Structure 1
């Protein structure tokens, strides 16, 4: 089967055509373009690129969807009922889900005969125990779907798969990039993670603050006149490394700048990553392996070393860098779920 994997982010769209036979996945072509916008058609750019390379039409299409909301906890074939759930899920990840839903709509129009599959970042975390996923709120709110969902699940799945049968019992995976989170993995299953109801919580990220005293938001509402729209812009687009440095979320630029604001941004990132790694270790009762992945985790040795330098008190544990293979995971799930004759 030939599967087109579409990995829609908040500002970019990674895509690849894969040949899938059983559990074997071969990448035939991969690239990146702009995320869906009203005034541009990324699907045409993709089809033009595939035609230029004389590659086959996809038999099925797989989409990375960050959040499925409270009612969708597994990767699934996309139909009209699922599309309705995705419309509801936009509120849970406003940076990601709206763009992904737009991408699904455009792909369904461009490839009307190809079945389409939604691969959810939240699915990997459905194994978290009640104590880890429960947020300390009244029962009526929790019953309405407010809980810790966790994200970057396709990345974590890919790391667990690459580690294979020899995966240690207690693993912490650090997916560090513009979006960043950590996951505690016991016996190959998620038991705790840093992000919560939305992809905004946890450690410091490119433009998101991670965990933030809710009193800060109340203060901004009551004393500074911030409304919901202004708060959303603050916590999703203006905070994190960008807010700390006064302008950029690019780690390469922060390292090169070497000014006070940039150094503070880097130090805060490292500090919060260490703290949350320690929290994941507490959930596991120890640590056998720490895995770095994601754009920063895979490519920024200076930041990795700084994080590790503050964890020596944990004792003996191994650390590895393993490239994430999210798109290959999308291709595998799509091939399994797509009803192709």
Structure 2
């Protein structure tokens, strides 16, 4: 019986996984992650049903994504789940212009997605390696890609276009946007809360080691801070965020940085880590007395506050602000400071509600409702697979699929 959906979500330092029963409500069967791959890897498995939490060290040295996957495969075998898995959903960071809906990952699709590796060098290669590993483990299961960029394909052309020669735009040098699976999940939660209006004019702040903002109108992406690559927009844990292109020219021409050195600098040595010189981890920075740590936090908050203003302009106002992802869900101080930076929009955060981590953290008189909603990219992938299966099983009248 192949009724279960396995979801695999690989990053530069972790592999998240989840198994869902394929029924309409997608009951969770198993969820966990292999974290800190490059340092001291650990397996964490959540308690689901009568299964206990598992916390296990995987040794004192770094492991690659293949060994992390082998750990997950062993766990699936131990839980007697391999024979149940009929579909495997993969979070793929970059889908370019062509991949805007869940897609079967056959050889042709994989080849096209490999061409996008330079646009997401940290993630894309890892995502596709996981696809190959999963296909080897489960040769009879359907491998399906769900794309972080797809959610933002609804934006108008003016929101995607750079001031470059038209031929470059037509060749695909445009803004794509990322964190789309997270935003898709939050949009579904907003629809569940508010109905079809999905919170009206909403800004969602996905604040984790990677960070971005998305402006949504009735749950549909209108604008976002990330663009052509995952470097753009806010400063992040180790990524620089938006940067004057002249800085890149200076580093290449005057500082004589090699391309490889520049990639390492912008993706791995900048952001909170680069500004503070201490860490890219927000918990560490908040706990530090070092002035440079405070300056890194100040810059993080300032850039978010400024971009909230920009996205509110794109929306023509603001009704709802949502915090999600690691920092957004777990750092009350950062939420409160961002709320203060955006208070001119009529929002106010209730200190006590915020400290308790309630779902609604705005005070009663706030004209903008402020929420904290945990993200769930794995469930978003499973929901897309389930919806796609239903669409193919029940085509619209006349034989045309909707």
TM-score (norm 2): 0.81
Q: Which secondary structure does the structure 2 equivalent of 1:257 belong to?
A: coil
Q: Which secondary structure does the structure 2 equivalent of 1:45 belong to?
A: helix
Say if 2:68 is the partner of 1:42: yes
Equivalent positions of 1:1-341 (< 5 A) are: 1-22=3-24, 24-34=25-35, 40-55=66-81, 57=83, 58-164=85-191, 165=195, 167-315=198-346, 316-337=367-388
For 1:81-105, what per-residue CA distance to the aligned partner results, in whole angstroms no more than 9, with x for missing partners?
A: 1001111011110010010011111
For 1:91-143, what per-residue CA distance to the aligned partner results, in whole angstroms no more than 9, with x for missing partners?
A: 11001001001111111111100001000001100100011111111111111
Instruction: Quickly say closer, same or farther: Cα 1:338–1:106, change in 2 above 3 A.
Output: farther
Distance, in Å, in 2 between the alignment partners of 1:217 and 1:319 is 37
Q: Which secondary structure does the structure 1 equivalent of 2:117 belong to?
A: helix
Distance, in Å, in 2 between the alignment partners of 1:239 and 1:49 is 36
Unaligned runs of 5+ residues in structure 2 are 39-62, 347-366, 394-402
CA contact under 8 A between 1:115 and 1:338: conserved in structure 2? no
Larger radius of gyration: 2
Q: Which secondary structure does the structure 1 equivalent of 2:22 belong to?
A: strand
Deviation at 1:329, TM superposition (A): 1.0
- What is the aligned-residue RMSD (CA, Å)? 1.8
CA contact under 8 A between 1:125 and 1:149: conserved in structure 2? yes
Deviation at 1:188, TM superposition (A): 1.4
Deviation at 1:163, TM superposition (A): 1.3
Deviation at 1:71, TM superposition (A): 2.6
Q: Which secondary structure does the structure 2 equivalent of 1:59 belong to?
A: strand
Distance, in Å, in 2 between the alignment partners of 1:65 and 1:228 is 25
Distance, in Å, in 2 between the alignment partners of 1:163 and 1:276 is 21
CA contact under 8 A between 2:65 and 2:126: conserved in structure 1? no
CA contact under 8 A between 1:63 and 1:119: conserved in structure 2? yes
TM-score (norm 1): 0.96
Instruction: Quickly say closer, same or farther: Cα 1:308–1:110, change in 2 above 3 A.
Output: same
Deviation at 1:282, TM superposition (A): 0.5
